[in-house]
Amino acid sequence: MSGPESSSGDEAPLLLDRQVCFPLYAATNLLNRLYGPVLRQLGLTYPQYLVMLVLWERQPQTVGALGSRLYLDSGTLTPLLKRMEAADYITRTRDPEDERRVVIGLTDKGKALREKAVHVPGTIANGRTPEGIEELRESVRNLVAMLAEQEVLR
C-alpha cells in the first residue's frame, strides 16, 4: 500500500504510536479531565492548583521562581496569578528591594484552602499502590529533566 496509509520504513517514525509526545499529550488531557471536577469544587483550575502547591510548600515566591518551578513563562503566569489574586487566594506585591520583581504570597483564604485540598493527590491514586505511583512519578520526572536539559541546550 502506498500513500498516507502506508507504514513503510521511511514513514514509520511518523506513526502516531511511535511518538513520545502523543501519550504525554493524551495523559495531560486525561489528567485535566480527572482533576477538573475535584479542583472545581475548590475553585481552582489545574494550573492554579500547581501554583498553590508551590506556595503551600514555601512562600513567598517571586513570579520568576514560580515560573521556573512550574516551567511557565511570565506571560502565561501573570494572567493566572491576577485571577488568583481576584479570587483572594494570593497577594501580589512589588519586591521593595527590586521593584522589577513581583512577590507572591498566600492570603488567609489561600492558606485555608490547603486543608480542603488534602484529598486531591489521591484522585490519581485510585487503587494504585504507593510504590506504583512513585515509580510512575519518577519516570515522568526523568522525562521532564531530559526535556528541560534539551531546551537549555538549544
CATH of the domain at 96: 1.10.10.10
Read off the pLDDT band of 123 (50, 70, 90).
confident
Quote the CA–CA distance of 116 and 43 in Å, as a whole number.
Answer: 11
Strand partners of residue 149 = none
pLDDT the model gives residue 5: 56
Residues 84-109 have pLDDT tens digits of: 999 999 999 999 989 899 999 999 99
- 95 lies in the same domain as 51: yes
- 40 lies in the same domain as 99: yes
Could you give the residue ranges of the DSSP H alpha helices within 12-129? Answer: 21-40, 46-57, 63-70, 74-86, 108-117, 122-125
Quote the CA–CA distance of 24 and 19 in Å, as a whole number.
Answer: 9
Contact 107, 89 (CB under 8 A): yes
- 142 lies in the same domain as 83: no
Cβ neighbours around 104 below 10 Å, total: 23
- 96 lies in the same domain as 30: yes
CA 31 to chain centre: 10
Which residue segment(s) compose the domain that 115 sits in? Answer: 13-120
Assigned C-alpha cell, 12 = 514509520
- 125 lies in the same domain as 109: no
pLDDT the model gives residue 1: 46
Quote the CA–CA distance of 114 and 89 in Å, as a whole number.
Answer: 11
- 86 lies in the same domain as 53: yes
Residue 59 domain-assigned (yes or no): yes
Question: How many domains does the chain fold into?
Answer: 2
Contact 148, 71 (CB under 8 A): yes
Dihedral pair phi/psi, residue 76, rounded to 5°: -85, -40
Amino acid, res. 32? N
- 71 lies in the same domain as 141: no
Residues 35-55 have pLDDT tens digits of: 999 999 999 999 999 999 999
